Chains A and B, each alone.
Chain A
Amino acid sequence: MFGTFGGIYVPEPLMPALEELEEAFLQLSQDQAFLARLKELLADYAGRPTPLYHARNLSAKWGAQIFLKREDLLHGGAHKTNNALGQALLAQAMAKKRIIAETGAGQHGVATAMAGALLGLRTEIYMGEVDIERQKPNVLRMQLLGAQVHPVATGGRTLKDAINQALRDWISNLRDTHYLLGTAAGPHPFPTLVKFFQSVIGDEARSQFFQRYRSLPEYAIACIGGGSNAIGLFSAFLEEPSVRLIGVEPAGRGLDTHEHGAVLSRGTAGCLHGMKSMLLQDEDGQIQETYSIAAGLDYPSVGPEHAYLKSTGRAVYESATDGEALFAFHDLCRTEGIIPALESAHALACARRLAATVPAQTTILVSLSGRGDKDLEQVMPRD
């Protein structure tokens, strides 16, 4: 548990799978051979370490020193590969023959399909119909990599509904199947396990920054859907009070509309997808539909550790609207020649806002969690 958040709240038939997973994780996360194999794959297959880039043009334009942790350069195009490789190796060690996953933006689906192809695991991906429509290139990539993509037509047909369907599949097939959950949410041990595999983002960024400047950045900023790239970045700085941690949620068309996904800003405590966390819900406890231009942030709950970090004040959580994210997206394209994912553009938007209010030498570390090739159809003006 993370304070009053987290835990295991799942139907009984899933309990044995979670117990098996916890046991395997506890054992393998201490196993030198397993860790060496993961490290080798992350380096030679996925391209770690990813660069830490001082974006000087953007810094000059926005008014503070912006450092980008380039997870967009990781094989697959986003930080999701860190977790997918780790969990796929776990699945293999547990003698599972099949992996399933949910995906919103499609990046986790792609990363899972890559890992499945690499390790010879049959791979099936659940993806909401709305997301299939708006992230088509990633659907094609998953199919090329040999994964089967199941469209999900229930609920709002986005990430939440894909998770529901993946959970149902897992309940029916847990003997030979591992559910490769893509974010630091869901029942224990997933939040801890995903953080373990994503902490490489923060560990690398911290040591890269320190080697260059013999200090730590003043701010670390990441976007929050479920919150896996954010918890991966934050994990290296949790014990460093001088580093201010900011998570950025999607404000969609505005926090005062119903079309956003700002769970920590506007949500209340509850229980969904096997965990206690903050939720966007009505008075009966029915989960509300969310909205964001970024499919990967379109989720009505959030990883339990973020709910906890907010409650203790260790991290603060802000939001960025679709418009602010798009503005930052174009700024990065034009000033640095880097096309960010729309998800990551939310973190950039927050950095831009912050840069305008702090001295120019202030150092701001931003997790550039993914690349934006998948979003071209969304951002290009249509004729």
Chain B
Amino acid sequence: MTDRYARRFAQLKREKRRAFIPFTLLGWPDRQSSFSIVKAMIECGASSLELGLAFSDPVADGPIIQQAASETLASGFKVRDAFELIAEIRGLDREIPIGLLVYYNMVLAQGVEQFCQRAQKAGVDGILVADLPPEAASEVVPAARACDLSTLFIVSPLTTEDRLGKIREYAGAFVYAVSRLGITGTEARYDQALKAMIARVHATVSLPVCVGFGVSTPDQARAMFALGADGVITGSRILQLVREANGAEYDQRLRAFLESMSEVCLCQR
């Protein structure tokens, strides 16, 4: 239900806190570990979840997520398995908003309506179709709305006023702002235009603005808040932590990282 997003962001605003939105890829490194990674996110203070479906050709993702997607598909993990996993995750927490990050071909392969219905049934609150610009949003938004799913959109520092207007028309939950021109990754190269972009989005769209792509440390999160962000999304760093642990006990390191991020986000303004 889209209400979960509204309730959660209203609560954060009331408490003068920011959102911490961790991302991971469903089914990676294996089904059980994927579940326990998300469980750690919830227990360590995530405000909302961003969960990705592995796609064979993820052009908006950097090498860390690409590699994970390719391993997930090689393991035989299917879309059906992903929806089952989401339903299990929903069982852990009835209130946390769950966003699903997908590529358009995976939505089309099921049929847009059926995809949205399956997402809703699994307990998803919003979908972000990485390669669906607002110009084509009308192909998905009505079906999503019919299933109570918010549609999330990305804004970059180069998004024009004109296009920001189109995004306003369709965007729900929060606006996903990219912190630099580029694909997801941990490289910290923030564009000077970022602050101006966040201000522009705030002026145009009455939704929280959360910044992703390259936000991988508490310091970077703090920097985003200083520029006006209402929340941060962290993905690649989480996958990297799990990979670096190399099958060994990643849980403790992951939790320490997640807690350090939550702490920065949840301290009162």
Chain A: residues with CB nearer than 8 A to chain B? 7-13, 15-16, 19, 154-155, 160, 164, 167-168, 171-175, 269-274, 279, 281, 283-287
Contact of B210 with A by CB under 8 A: no
**Chain B residue with the shortest CB-CB distance to A282:** B109
CB<8 Å pairs between A and B, sample of 29 = A8-B133, A8-B136, A9-B104, A9-B136, A10-B59, A10-B131, A11-B59, A11-B131, A11-B154, A12-B178, A13-B182, A16-B159, A155-B56, A171-B182, A171-B183, A174-B158, A174-B181, A175-B181, A269-B108, A270-B108, A271-B105, A271-B108, A273-B59, A281-B105, A283-B109, A285-B55, A285-B107, A286-B55, A286-B106
How many Å from the CB of B152 to the closest CB on chain A? 11
- In Å, the complex CA distance between A160 and B105 comes to 15
* B132 is an interface residue with CB less than 8 A from chain A: yes
B220 within 8 A of A: no
B183 to chain A: which residues have CB within 8 Å? 168, 171-172
Chain A CB within 10 Å, residue with most, of B109, B135, B154, B178: B109
Known: A13-B154, A287-B105. 7 other contacts (CB 8 A): A8-B136, A11-B130, A12-B178, A16-B160, A164-B57, A284-B79, A285-B106
- Which of chain A's residues have a CB closer than 8 A to the CB of B70? 154-155
Q: How far is the CA of A172 from the CA of B58 in the complex (A)?
A: 15
**Which of chain A's residues have a CB closer than 8 A to the CB of B104?**
9, 271
- A207, B263: Cα distance in complex, Å: 73
Task: Check B163 against A279 for contact (C-beta < 8 Å).
Answer: no
Per-residue A-contact encoding for B48-64, CB less than 8 Å = 1, 0 else:
00000001111110100
Determine if B153 is an interface residue (Cβ-Cβ < 8 Å).
yes
Instruction: Tell me the nearest residue of chain A to B62, going by C-beta.
Output: A168
Contact with A along B123-139 (1 / 0, CB 8 A): 00000001111011000
In the bound complex, residues from chain A placing their C-beta under 8 Å from that of B108 are 269-271, 285
- Number of interface residues, chain B, beta carbon within 8 A: 38
- Cα A20 to Cα B32 with chains together (Å): 46
In the complex formed, the residue of A with least CB distance to B156 is A13
A7 touches B136 (CB 8 A): yes
What 4 A-B pairs come out closest when comparing CB atoms? A285-B109, A12-B154, A11-B60, A285-B106
User: How many angstroms from the CA of A9 to the CA of B139 in the assembled complex?
Assistant: 11
Residue from B57, B110, B132, B182 within 8 A of A9 (CB atoms): B132
Query: Is B143 at the interface (CB under 8 A from chain A)?
Result: no
A171 — which chain B residues lie within 8 A by C-beta?
A: 59-60, 181-183
Q: Is the CB of A12 within 8 A of B155?
A: yes
Query: Could you tell me if A164 and B135 are in contact, using CB atoms closer than 8 angstroms?
Result: no
How far does the Cβ of A170 sit from chain B's closest Cβ, in whole Å? 10
> Which residues of B (33-61) have their CB < 8 Å from a CB of A?
55-60
Residues of chain A lying within 8 A (CB to CB) of residue B12 = none
Distance of A9 Cα from B129 Cα, bound (Å): 10
Q: Which residues of B contact A12 (CB under 8 A)?
A: 133, 153-156, 159, 178
